[in-house]
């Protein structure tokens, strides 16, 4: 009988967070992006040679707001360990390499989020989506059914983008990010189930309620350019013209974010 040999994993080595290690990398951030990365402790705005002194001053102001958000965040608390090893790697943070680009994009993103969900700013969104209790971490928002509903729908739009782009990073992120289900946290874990993640490509599935099914249909139509009068009329019947349009604006913010991520990431496999 032939004895089995110990076979070295041909896929490579894992880094300290469990991802595949980038060749020549000295940390999980090193070699992963095509521009310096603000979450990397070695990142310094003042070291970017392409910026003017005025741009560096503006960038440092943005960086301080980014590192010290108004509402705080759950990253670093250990509540959602899978989120802690995925969320900090969002490549759109590389926009900080040009403070004007950062301002232009995140002002649009923040405005889109606030108009759709009724929140105060993007830091509140980060606060409500990085604790395991989700929206119930906030006494102000926990009993607001409209913010809860719209935030749940908004986060769900990320699913079709991940499915259509075969985006492993975002699929792993969605397995951990809190979703704002109608039931309070004590009655329901605020994360998509494995069954729901598996059914993201199928808006017609019985696993989705009316709101969820419709937001998935609308998002796929947005991505695939397959909008119909029938779908439009159903959206307006359920949400009205303004809310429907605000979902589209929110999707536009993420369409740019995802495409920017794909340009800045060197890693394809997560």
**Residue pLDDT, tens place only, 192-217:** 989 999 999 999 999 999 999 999 99
> What DSSP state is assigned to residue 112?
H
Q: What is the pLDDT of residue 138?
A: 92
In a domain, 4, yes or no: no
Q: How many domains does the chain have?
A: 1
In a domain, 125, yes or no: yes
Q: Report how far residue 123's alpha carbon sits from residue 57's, in angstroms, rounded to the nearest whole number.
A: 21
Q: Report how far residue 175's alpha carbon sits from residue 159's, in angstroms, rounded to the nearest whole number.
A: 10
In a domain, 200, yes or no: yes
In a domain, 39, yes or no: no
Q: For residue 1, what is the enclosing H or E element?
A: none
Whole-angstrom CA distances from 1 to 4, 8, 59, 178 are 9, 22, 66, 51
Whole-angstrom CA distances from 124 to 30, 70, 113, 252 are 29, 8, 10, 20
Residues counted in the chain:
270
In a domain, 3, yes or no: no
Contacts of 258 (CB under 8 A, 6+ apart): 161, 165, 167, 170
Domain range for 196 is 52-264
**Residue pLDDT, tens place only, 181-195:** 766 655 556 789 899
Q: What is the pLDDT of residue 209?
A: 95
Q: Write out the two tokens for 20.
A: 């595949």
Q: What is the pLDDT of residue 72?
A: 78
Per the CB < 8 A criterion, the answer to whether 55 and 96 are in contact is: no
Q: What is the pLDDT of residue 74?
A: 84
In a domain, 116, yes or no: yes
Q: What is the pLDDT of residue 78?
A: 85
In a domain, 138, yes or no: yes
- For the chain (length 270 residues), average pLDDT per consecutive 10? 72 88 88 93 94 97 87 84 90 96 96 97 92 90 93 96 95 91 64 92 97 98 98 98 98 96 92
In a domain, 22, yes or no: no
């Amino acid at each position: 009988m032939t004895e089995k040999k110990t076979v070295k994993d041909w896929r490579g080595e894992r880094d300290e967070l469990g991802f595949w290690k980038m060749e020549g990398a000295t940390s999980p951030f090193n070699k992963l992006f095509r521009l310096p990365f603000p979450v990397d402790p070695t990142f310094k705005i003042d070291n970017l040679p392409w910026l003017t002194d005025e741009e560096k001053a503006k960038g440092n102001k943005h960086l301080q707001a980014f590192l010290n958000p108004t509402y705080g965040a759950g990253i670093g608390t250990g509540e959602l360990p899978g989120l802690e090893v995925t969320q900090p790697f969002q490549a759109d943070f590389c926009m900080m390499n040009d403070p004007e680009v950062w301002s232009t994009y995140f002002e649009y993103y923040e405005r889109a989020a606030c108009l759709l969900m009724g929140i105060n700013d993007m830091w509140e969104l980060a606060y409500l989506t990085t604790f395991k209790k989700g929206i119930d971490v906030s006494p102000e928002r926990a009993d607001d059914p409209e913010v809860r509903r719209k935030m749940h729908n908004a986060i769900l739009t990320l699913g079709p983008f991940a499915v259509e782009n075969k985006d492993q990073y975002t699929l792993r992120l969605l397995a951990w990010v809190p979703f704002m289900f109608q039931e309070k946290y004590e009655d329901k874990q605020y994360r998509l189930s494995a069954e729901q993640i598996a059914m993201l490509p199928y808006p017609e599935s019985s696993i989705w309620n009316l709101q969820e099914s419709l937001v998935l249909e609308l998002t796929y139509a947005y991505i695939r350019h397959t909008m119909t009068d029938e779908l439009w009329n159903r959206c307006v019947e359920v949400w009205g013209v303004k809310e429907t349009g605000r979902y589209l604006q929110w999707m536009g913010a993420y369409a740019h974010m995802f495409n920017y991520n794909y340009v800045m990431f060197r890693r394809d496999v997560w």
